[in-house]
Amino acid sequence: MLHAGDEDTCLDILVSLVCYNNKLLTISIPELLHCEVYSQGILFKDASAEIREQLLRQLETDRDNRNYLLLALSWIGDDQVVRRFREWRENPPKWTEELYVAPEQYAYEAGWELTEGGQRRDLFYQWNYAVEKIETGGKSAPVTRPASFLTESEQICQWCGGKLTNLIEIEAGRPSIWRLPIIGERLQVQTCIICSCYGPVYMELGIGLEPKWSAYNQTPDYLPDTDSDEERTEYLTAGTNFSVSAKPRNTYHAAQWTLEPKASQIGGYPTWIQDAEYPVSPCCSQSMYFIGQLDWEEVEAYGEGIYYMFICPDGKVTATLFQQS
């Protein structure tokens, strides 16, 4: 297909194979390199040492494709890539002046970061459980399930004055979260549906792991004028029609949002609509772990965008942020 000129269709097929089936593109990657197609870094995930070395050599001279090559290397992410990222951070090559961000920052797009000590630190969990809509025949689903979504909190947003929303609440020990770093009886993530569109909202898990508005929250430079009494809350009724799948799906199932996957999930690799954006934990200054997301297109008619959820297990802090096209 590449030689026939149908590059878009070819890339959609290959990305689908990686995202939905976690296929290694052993045969296809050399063809992508031959045709100079680098735009989808995820296609190079877990590529061979030979491919890695070819990309590293090309990186030094191929100015036009340097951004794509760094993304591809990030998705390979093996020990040698980590070592080179560490070396480039300590002694930046001349070509780094042409980049918008430092080379090691590209690792975030592949779901990991380079630590202060120069090691790889993954920022998401491999186990991916879909958050699915329940077919109820027009009736609300039972509310006694071990997971609940989009329920109103009694806590107030300190920025806009509206009530906070429980994006998700799941009992500990459920298959979808038992591998996550949850301490206590449940995972509960709260946010302000409005204000998290303009900056990360942090919540501290206090006594009994009840979320409370964090003193670390910094008011964004811009917030819209809102009247909490007039804000729409129809999305709250949608929450009763969601449930967590009993079986996991591929880690990268929703990695590429242009494939229009069902993106709501617990765990797995996030569906970045814009650049990868892992909030920095205010208590330890490390990037927070991604633990789930809700796709607003599945919540409201004509809805769009995704709410992302993160946790710092050591500091017992959660964070949420929002992206849309």
Q: How many domains does the chain have?
A: 2
In a domain? residue 157: yes
Q: For residue 21, list its beta bridge partners.
A: none
Do 157 and 280 lie in one domain? The reply is yes
Q: How far is residue 207's CA from residue 186's CA, in Å, rounded to a whole number?
A: 13
95 shares its domain with 63 = yes
Confidence of residue 6 (pLDDT cuts 50, 70, 90): confident
With respect to residue 2, please indicate whether it lies within any of the assigned structural domains.
no
Strands 317-323 and 125-133: unpaired
Q: For residues 227 and 214, state if they share a domain.
A: yes
Q: Which domain-ending residue is among 121, 144, 177?
A: 121
Residues 160 and 106 reside in one and the same domain: no
* For residues 69-75, average pLDDT: 98
Mean of pLDDT values over 156-161: 94
Q: In 3-state terms, what secondary structure has residue 314?
A: coil
Residue 78 in contact with residue 50, Cβ under 8 Å? no
Cβ–Cβ under 8 Å, residues 140 and 240:
yes
Is 66's pLDDT higher than 70? Answer: yes
If asked whether residues 64 and 136 sit together in one domain, one would say no
Question: What pLDDT score does 177 carry?
Answer: 78
Short-list 42, 22, 19, 253, CA closest to 129 = 253
Residues 138, 111 within the same domain: no
Indicate if 161 and 224 belong to the same structural domain.
yes
Give exposure, 273-282, as e/b (b: 16+ Cβ within 10 Å): beebbbbebb
Q: Is 202 left (phi over 0), alpha (psi -120 to 50) or beta?
A: beta
Residue 98 and residue 47 share a domain: yes
Region 70-93 average pLDDT? 98
> The domain containing residue 38 runs over which residues?
7-121
Distance CA 300, CA 288 (A): 28
Q: Are residues 155 and 299 in the same domain?
A: yes
* Each residue's pLDDT tens digit, 241-251: 899 998 999 99
Domain stops at, among 121, 147, 168:
121
Together in a domain, 168 and 99: no
pLDDT in tens, 308-324: 999 998 888 999 999 99
pLDDT band at 289 (very low <50, low <70, confident <90, very high): very high
Please tell me whether residues 151 and 295 are part of one structural domain. Answer: yes
Nearest 10 degrees: Cα torsion 303, 168, 209, 182:
-120
| Res. 55: pLDDT tops 90 | yes
Nearest to 318 by CA among 231, 238, 242, 209: 209
CA distances to 202, 203, 277 from 215, in Å? 8, 9, 21
Read off the pLDDT band of 269 (50, 70, 90): very high
Any domain includes 1: no
